[in-house]
């Protein structure tokens, strides 16, 4: 009789330990995804162009990032549609809170009057293929994305 109680207690303890381990594994996996949404307005006075767009940045646990940009680029008074996804490989640098982003692919989904890739890359990234960016929590779901010491955008993130 005592052996049965002892075995049931041991089984319950092992089951409880497995449930706790599964809970922490799921919670840790959820923290590996980061999605941040914002509206942007960038101007480039040298090329007389600007972009107004809604953006979403998604960082995944497998070091892949996707930037989704939907809006309008204006160049010399002419409007061009922007509906693009830009894919990056990223990794965290060993010094500080910076992430290294390297562009690997770009997809254009605009069906009419699409902005050229050159114009989009000039105004959005300054024609850079890679860059360093920090992501700093501002509290209440807000984050500041900065390229080295220069703030780029403030965005809002909700847990996904």
17 and 54 together in one domain: no
Where b means 16+ CB within 10 Å and e means fewer, 5-43 reads: eeeeeeeeeeeeeeeeeeeeeeeeeeeeebbbebeeebe
**Res 78: pLDDT:** 93
Q: Which domain holds residue 133?
A: 34-157
86 and 109 together in one domain: yes
Section 128-135 average pLDDT:
86
- At residue 82 the predicted structure's pLDDT band, cuts being 50, 70 and 90, is very high
95 and 138 together in one domain: yes
Q: What angle (nearest 5°) sits at the alpha carbon of residue 102, between those of residues 100 and 105?
A: 150
Percent of all residues in the chain with a pLDDT value above 90, rounded to a whole number:
22
pLDDT digits (tens, 9 = 90+) for 136-158: 888 888 888 888 766 678 888 87
User: Domain containing 43 — which CATH number?
Assistant: 2.40.128
Alpha-carbon span 87 to 97, nearest angstrom: 21
- Which pTM was predicted? 0.71
Section 67-76 average pLDDT:
93
Cβ-contact 55, 157 below 8 angstroms: no
99 and 133 together in one domain: yes
The secondary structure of the chain, three-state, reads CHHHHHHHHHHHHHHHHHHHHHHHHHHHHHCCCEEEEEEEEEEECCCCEEEEEEEEEEECCCCEEEEEEEEEEEECCEEEEEEEEEEEEEEECCCCCEEEEEEEEEEECCCCCECCHHHHHHHHHCCCCEEEEEEEEEECCEEEEEECCEEEEEEEECCC
21 and 41 together in one domain: no
76 and 143 together in one domain: yes
Alpha-carbon span 96 to 77, nearest angstrom: 41
- At residue 17 the predicted structure's pLDDT band, cuts being 50, 70 and 90, is low
52 and 130 together in one domain: yes
């Amino acid at each position: 009789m005592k052996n049965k109680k002892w075995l049931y207690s041991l089984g319950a303890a092992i089951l409880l330990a497995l449930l706790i381990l599964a809970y922490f594994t799921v919670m840790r996996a959820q923290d590996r995804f980061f999605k941040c949404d914002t509206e942007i307005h960038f101007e480039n006075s040298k090329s007389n162009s600007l972009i107004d767009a809604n953006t979403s940045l998604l960082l995944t646990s497998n070091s892949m990032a996707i930037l989704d940009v939907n809006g309008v680029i204006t160049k010399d008074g002419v409007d061009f549609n922007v509906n693009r996804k830009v894919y990056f490989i990223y990794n965290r640098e060993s010094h500080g809170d910076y992430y290294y982003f390297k562009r690997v692919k770009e997809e254009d989904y605009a069906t009419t009057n699409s902005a050229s890739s050159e114009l989009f890359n000039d105004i959005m990234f300054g024609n850079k293929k890679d860059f360093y960016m920090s992501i700093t929590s501002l509290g209440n779901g807000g984050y500041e994305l900065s390229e080295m010491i220069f703030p780029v955008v403030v965005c809002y993130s909700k847990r996904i």
